[in-house]
Amino acid sequence: MKVALLTDCYPPRVGGIESQVADLAAHLVDDGHEVEVFTATTGPAGQSRGDVEEGPVRVHRLAEPLLRVPVNPFAVPELRRRLAAGSFDVAHVHVGVVSPFAWDAARVSTGLGLPTAITWHCVLHRATALYRASGVLARWTGRGAVLSAVSTFAAGQVRAAAPAGTQVAVLPNAIDLDRWRPHLPRSTGRDDDQYGVVAGGEGGSTAGEGGSTAGDGGPVRLVSTMRLAPRKRPLELVDAFVAAGLGDRARLAVVGDGPLRARLERRVAELPTGQVVVRGRLPREDLRALYADADGYLAPTRLEAFGIAVLEARAAGLPVVAMGGSGVDDVVDDGVSGLLVPDDAGLTRAVARLVTDDALRARMAAHNRTVPPRQVWSHVLPEVLAEYERAGAR
């Protein structure tokens, strides 16, 4: 099968859609398919304005570098020409809340009569009414497009924006389980410096087989990974952690970067030394090492379309505390692999419970280490291909 993947954002940009589309392309190629990516993101060496990167995945860089963002309203004629000439079996469009290139791509591919699958990686929220009023989904589905979203929650919002009776599939994000699965057995001590704990003092703990348990009296180590931006709520996370009143019983490491980093660091500086540390952005291997030293994962974001960071932490064997009522509900089984809460007060209570209830924490960790999540590529890739067949049948 020859597949066109169409997305505003793609590496070298860093983000959820970027990583998922790149991983999907790689897994499709490994499965024997031919894949070409069309994107409005400038390439690593400045490729743009129609430049093509050759490789296992062929990447068309239809970016306009003068705009400095992955937007190019002038790309439509060239995109249409290349899709028409490419002999593609299916086009797969990846959409965020504001995705002008993806919207253009959906219009072009459906206009060409190309079987088209459109996946939303976002929470529509207030945009639901705008989608419905614009009639754009009716036009796309009227031309044969099939719709999907990355979680049950996100799919419900797309369904509400689409014409009555429209089928919206759930096509989840996925991970390579072996990248995150805990490596057993572990015989080395935990890295105290990662959590601001003085070696040989409170944090002189040693992890048992399969991950850390903090069972030696050392502080419980919690971690959270996010873009440090208002929507992700890093300040609210620290406030909830502090409100749990755990003192020396717990430490929190916040991983990420973004516009709120300076403000977050000022807030952390007001706390007792080492209680919370801001680690900045970490490479994947360093993040895996941090998870290997951790006892739990915290996710304060509301209205999460999916929660790829939550999935990675859960795959690494960490019990998760997260806001419920979002795409995270598909990843975390409340009371089994983590705790889902309705609000910030519930977040504070759940953090305290996770830290103080050793048996609960150990039971969830054991489950997450031995029962893999279903959102792994070996399960999800066949679902993607089934969606492509659905597009072809329409």
Quickly list DSSP for 8-62.
S--TTS-SHHHHHHHHHHHHHHHTT-EEEEEESSPPTT---TTEEE-SSSEEEE-
Tokens 């999935």 sit on residue = 311
Tokens 């505003």 sit on residue = 8
168 and 220, same structural domain? no
193 and 162, same structural domain? no
- Domain that residue 242 falls in: 177-370
240 and 127, same structural domain? no
Q: CA–CA separation, 172 vs 150, rounded Å?
A: 4
Q: CA–CA separation, 40 vs 83, rounded Å?
A: 15
170 and 183, same structural domain? no
Summarize pLDDT for 272-311 with one digit per residue, the tens.
Answer: 888 999 999 999 889 999 999 999 999 999 989 999 999 9
Asked whether the beta carbons of 211 and 223 are under 8 A apart, the reply is no
pLDDT at 137 over 90: yes
Q: CA–CA separation, 145 vs 170, rounded Å?
A: 15
168 and 182, same structural domain? no
Summarize pLDDT for 51-95 with one digit per residue, the tens.
Answer: 999 999 999 999 999 988 999 999 999 999 999 999 999 999 999
Summarize pLDDT for 364-390 with one digit per residue, the tens.
Answer: 999 999 999 999 999 999 999 999 999
43 and 10, same structural domain? yes
307 and 289, same structural domain? yes
Average pLDDT over the chain reads 91
252 and 142, same structural domain? no
190 and 140, same structural domain? no
267 and 227, same structural domain? yes
237 and 196, same structural domain? yes
What is the domain-level CATH number for residue 309?
3.40.50.2000
> Degrees (nearest 5) of the Cα angle 152, 155, 158?
160
pLDDT above 90: percentage of residues in the chain: 83
**Domains in the chain: how many in total?**
2
296 and 276, same structural domain? yes
